Amino acid sequence: DAGITQSPRHKVTETGTPVTLRCHQTENHRYMYWYRQDPGHGLRLIHYSYGVKDTDKGEVSDGYSVSRSKTEDFLLTLESATSSQTSVYFCAISDKASWNRGYTFGSGTRLTVV
Amino acid sequence: AQSVTQLDSQVPVFEEAPVELRCNYSSSVSVYLFWYVQYPNQGLQLLLKYLSGSTLVESINGFEAEFNKSQTSFHLRKPSVHISDTAEYFCAVSDRGGSYIPTFGRGTSLIVHP
């Protein structure tokens, strides 16, 4: 999607290892979000950020941490990956000035924990 | 807090037939409503939204949705579907004057058969 990229696109990792997913935006939007998508659950919010160094938890934040040291990057870290964290992870961005146009989503990162 | 229910996890339909994807929500305050579409291996894209004004909203590709406050519904319809409409559709709701962070439904998979 224009203005927002996620990396890596695919990753396979072993249980117990740390994993960091990156979301990078070029829109200068204030708000950034991490969601996970699982069959039968739709999208669930993990963490979000409302500014540099300002973050808050979503509904499924256990086992995840985030950091935002600059406007354009929002990192999601799994400190010790578990099989239950196998999922597709989406980053999204929005801005108060344009929030009513909805979110802009990245293309996703498919994470498999073996 | 708000919630969204998409009653149908999967809707199979033949090409050129009409379709309705159902969405009901609950919230203690006034809401904004959205429909997003996700094509295979892509992120979500905003399809249409209700913010205020006319309760019937339309998208550029022939979909429409009607906000029904008394029934707390925001069903998505299309009079004649195409193969290319095959995708996952998500309904989302956010509170007016709140955090604006939307809550997503679990999604409905629309499968259009030739």
Mutation site, B51, B96, B101, B106, interface A, largest A CB count within 10 A: B101
Token pair recorded at residue B8: 């149908």
Question: What residues of B are in contact with residue A108 (Cβ under 8 Å)?
Answer: 41-43
pLDDT (average), residues A9-37: 96
Q: How far apart are CA B48 and CA A22, in angstroms?
A: 28
Q: How far apart are CA A94 and CA B101, in angstroms?
A: 10
pLDDT (average), residues A61-75: 97
Question: Mean pLDDT highest for which of A39-53, A64-78, B98-112?
Answer: A64-78
In chain A, the residue whose alpha carbon lies closest to the alpha carbon of B51 is A100
Q: Are A111 and A21 in contact (CB under 8 A)?
A: yes
More confident site: A82 or B101: A82
Cβ-Cβ contacts under 8 Å between A and B: the total is 48
Q: Are B48 and B57 in contact (CB under 8 A)?
A: yes
In chain B, the residue whose alpha carbon lies closest to the alpha carbon of A35 is B104
- pLDDT-derived band at B98 (thresholds 50, 70, 90) equals low
- The DSSP code for B102 is P
Token pair recorded at residue A14: 């072993």
Closest Cα in chain A, distance from residue B71 (Å): 23
pLDDT of residue A95: 83
H or E element that contains B112: strand B108-113
Cβ within 8 Å, pair B106-A41: yes
Question: What residues of A are in contact with residue B60 (Cβ under 8 Å)?
Answer: none
pLDDT (average), residues B30-35: 90
Q: How far apart are CA B19 and CA B17, in angstroms?
A: 7
For the stretch A83-105, pLDDT in tens is 999 999 999 998 876 666 788 99
Nearest to B105 by CA among B68, B70, B76: B76
Q: Is residue B101 scored above 90 in pLDDT?
A: no
For the stretch B35-93, pLDDT in tens is 999 998 888 999 999 888 888 988 888 999 999 989 999 999 999 999 999 999 999 99
For the stretch B4-27, pLDDT in tens is 999 999 999 999 999 999 999 998
Q: Are B36 and A102 in contact (CB under 8 A)?
A: yes
Question: What residues of B are in contact with residue A106 (Cβ under 8 Å)?
Answer: 43
For the stretch A8-19, pLDDT in tens is 999 999 999 999
Unique residue bearing structure tokens 């994470």? A111
**Which residues are A32's β-sheet partners?**
A49, A93
The pairs formed by A16-20 with CB atoms below 8 angstroms and a separation of 24 or more are: A16/A80, A16/A81, A17/A80, A17/A81, A18/A77, A18/A78, A18/A79, A18/A80, A18/A81, A19/A77, A19/A78, A19/A81, A19/A111, A20/A75, A20/A76, A20/A77, A20/A78
- Please provide the average confidence, as pLDDT, over all residues in chain A: 93
Cβ within 8 Å, pair B43-A108: yes
Q: Who among B41, B43, B106 is closest to A42 (CB)?
A: B106
- pLDDT-derived band at A2 (thresholds 50, 70, 90) equals low
Cβ within 8 Å, pair B43-A106: yes
Q: Is residue A1 scored above 60 in pLDDT?
A: no
